[in-house]
Amino acid sequence: MVSIAGYVLLLHHVVSSASPRLRPKDSYDIALAGTAATRLLPTAGLGGAAVTVWALRARGVRPSEVTERLLAFLLLLYSVYLAALALAGAAIALGLVAVPHGRALGALGALLAIAVGAGVVALLAVPSFARRLLSATGRTFPRVAPTARRAEAQLPVLRAALRRTWQSLRRPHIALLGALAWWAFDIGVLVAMLHAFGAGPPVDAVVLAYFLGTMFNVLPLPGSLSGGLIGVLVALGVAATPAIAAVLAYRCVAVWLPAASGIASAASLRSSVASWRVAEATAA
């Protein structure tokens, strides 16, 4: 629950503050419903983003404002992801952390984190490069040309999100610790489960396995996240039996137990959205 509390804190500070009418309870419902969608469905986080956009639009927040704040939120949240993946991967690749095997995975994780981070910053900070890339993509793949044009039209909003993220880092608020809490306490559950089933890999190895394994969530297949996490743990030297047991137990504690709260929050949020829309229609 501390992990989810960190998510709520960051979401309310960065995103929900777009509307003074959004209460902390609304941010809680948005966060719980969104995280349930993200963790239960293999959508690479898009499920949670869709829930947030839906709720904020119903509260009257402009689409550009929603995009800017939500992207800033994701940049802050996933900067911790990429930094942890890079550091843990480098530590294992350089032999600073002893693992039975899997140093190549450490190098892969570090390089992947650096490449993704640099790519995101380049796309958002250098609009001319982003425009050329999108134009070339549209010309090469005509089927995605309309999507590429829409993305190009959003570049000013994306740059505004990057500026908002930078301003948040220059003038840090305690709510930014929510990004660290979201990942750290979730990984803590996995570490505890591994120890409970007799496996005690170094924390850096668990961090690397966690962040590399969760990348499998981009595959639209049931169980892709659990399978990816188990596979990376085994590749790093954890025995298969405790790895499978620990990951399944972790999923029960960190995913399935909060799912009931997420479903309740989704129902509460749906009721709130309906009342907001009635209020907006009445005011118009």
Query: What sections of the chain are H helices per DSSP?
Result: 2-14, 24-40, 46-58, 63-93, 103-125, 127-140, 145-153, 155-170, 177-196, 203-214, 224-235, 240-251, 257-283
- Which tens digits make up the pLDDT trace of 56-115? 887 778 877 888 888 888 889 999 999 999 999 999 999 888 887 878 888 999 999 999
Domain extents in the chain: 2-283
Amino acid 284: pLDDT: 58
What is the distance, to the nearest Å, from the Cα of residue 2 to the centroid of all Cα atoms in its chain? Answer: 16
DSSP state of 42: -
Tokens of 276: 């907001």
Straight-line distance from the first to the last Cα atom of the chain, in angstroms, rounded to the nearest whole number: 40
Question: Collapsing DSSP states into helix, strand and coil, what is residue 240?
Answer: helix
Instruction: Average pLDDT across each block of 10 residues of the chain; the chain has 284 residues. List them in order.
Output: 84 81 82 72 62 80 82 90 93 86 87 88 71 73 70 73 84 90 92 90 91 72 70 89 91 77 81 78 66
The DSSP annotation for 167-230 comes to HHHHS--GGGHHHHHHHHHHHHHHHHHHHHTT----HHHHHHHHHHHHGGGGS-STTHHHHHHH
Tokens of 172: 């840090």
Amino acid 21: pLDDT: 77
Amino acid 259: pLDDT: 72
**How would you classify residue 75: left for phi > 0, otherwise alpha for psi between -120 and 50, otherwise beta?**
alpha
Amino acid 80: pLDDT: 93
- How far is 75 from 93, CA to CA, in rounded Å? 26
Q: Are 219 and 42 in contact (CB under 8 A)?
A: yes
